[in-house]
Amino acid sequence: MDISTALGILMGTAFLIIGILINGALGTYYDQASIMIVLGGTIAATLISFPLPKFKETIRSVKHIFFGKEMNAAQVIENIIELANVARKEGLLALEEAALQLDDDFLRKGILLIVDGTDPELVRNILETELAFVEERHSMGQSLFETMGSVSPAFGMIGTLIGLINMLKTLEDPSTVGPNMAVALITTFYGAVLAYLFFLPMARKLKVRSKEEILLKEILVEGMLSIQAGENPRIIEEKLVAFLAPKMREKAKKEKESESGEEAYADAAN
């Protein structure tokens, strides 16, 4: 589970509740009509903006916000180097058996294309086309939450206008001004909280995860084409590490050294 997402939502909710309780009561901030206007209006506007199948598919992507796998660049590069060593020692055809054991569908597909003797330019075109469609699917989820984040404050304002209209209708009774004004402002509160604590941060988290996945897939494409070109595994490793930011390079280097140390200790123990 992604700790930062859960922690952020819990902290944001807790600070809001504590802030309310310091000078007021939670019951003051509950209004059924306001919830219907803001939440119902936001969902309705989103359904109008997106086809129903896309809406359902994107809502299912919420699990990636909370349970997305951490992208391990070091492991990806290590997998490529292992395949490069197999190809260098036994030839490209020996990669077929190794490819069938891979968990990564994208990597398996690329390796099998190479084993089949596909032209390198065609391999690149096929993989980059698939990469483009992956990015397109990701952007659909991002745009849905961005849409919800942009319309929820608008429906909060609509609810406020409705509340103000109701207040003006009973303006001759001063005792109703305060309660009606409070209800009018609550809808704006709901819209802002939904947008800035939930929907927009979720869109940004999906965008970050998408960039991480696309980067790793670009590393895979470059690595597979380097294997097909028969490049030295050490040169391939240096080329792939160049994709990473300096901090990620250091992390990958430390992980590799740690694994090498564990393997050496295991060999010595045996």
pLDDT digits 0-9 by tens, 86-129: 888 888 888 888 888 888 889 899 999 999 888 999 999 999 99
Q: How many CB atoms lie within 10 A of CB 123?
A: 20
- Would you say residue 264 has pLDDT above 50? no
In the three-class reduction of DSSP (H, G, I as helix; E, B as strand; rest coil), residue 6 is classed as helix
Angle separating helix axes 200-228 and 120-169, nearest 10 degrees? 180
For the chain, counts of helices (H) and of strands (E): 13, 0
DSSP 30: -
Higher pLDDT, 250 or 132: 132
Tell whether the model's pLDDT for residue 270 goes beyond 60: no
> What does the pLDDT read at residue 68?
64
pTM for the whole structure: 0.78
The model's confidence at residue 254, banded by pLDDT at 50, 70 and 90, is low
Instruction: Name the token pair of 111.
Output: 């390796």
**Sign (positive/negative) of CA torsion 260, 227, 107, 209?**
positive
Lowest mean pLDDT among 28-37, 47-56, 70-79, 187-196: 70-79
